[in-house]
Amino acid sequence: MLSCDSFRDRLYDEDARAALLGRTPIPADLLAHRDACAACRQEWDEAGADLVGLPSLLAAPAPVAVVRKIRIGAAERLQPAPRLDWNEGLAWAAIGAAVCAPVAAWVPMLSPVVLGMVGASIAFGASATRRVLREALR
């Protein structure tokens, strides 16, 4: 059986809080002592009343300007991370390759394949960068 001091300390544990707020049954050790001790029964009732009553006495609405700033901050900061669109990237890579490969006619040292790959890489990179920048600046 709990002592009165232990009972008083137990009132602030989370299982006791849940029971005081009527969310869960009263833990057995608290129930046994509460039923046996009139002073602790009163303490229990007061603790329950304080849990219900004190939050409204302590709460206050935040100033409108603060709410507005935080709302704007939420819209700016809570954005999904930009994702690479592979279809768009591959389409640009193909365009890059098609544009660069014919340049081999004027640059005999490099084959159309190499120039096509260089063009594809540049176009793919530009496409990905453009997407990331667009998301970041939105």
Contacts of 78 (CB under 8 A, 6+ apart): none
Nearer to other proteins, 24 or 111 (CB): 24
* Residue 51 sits in the site that holds other proteins (CB under 8 A): yes
Give me the count of residues in the chain.
138
Distance CA 115, CA 138 (A): 34
Interface of this chain with other proteins, residues 64 to 103, rule: CB under 8 A: 65-67, 69-71, 73-75, 77-80
Distances (CA, A) of 120 to 63, 108, 109, 114: 54, 19, 19, 10
54, two tokens: 């004190």
Interface of this chain with other proteins, residues 118 to 137, rule: CB under 8 A: none
Give me the least distance between CB of 114 and other proteins, in Å please. 41
* Residue 109 sits in the site that holds other proteins (CB under 8 A): no
Interface contacts to other proteins, rule CB under 8 A: 8-9, 12-14, 17-18, 22-25, 46-47, 50-51, 54-55, 57-63, 65-67, 69-71, 73-75, 77-80
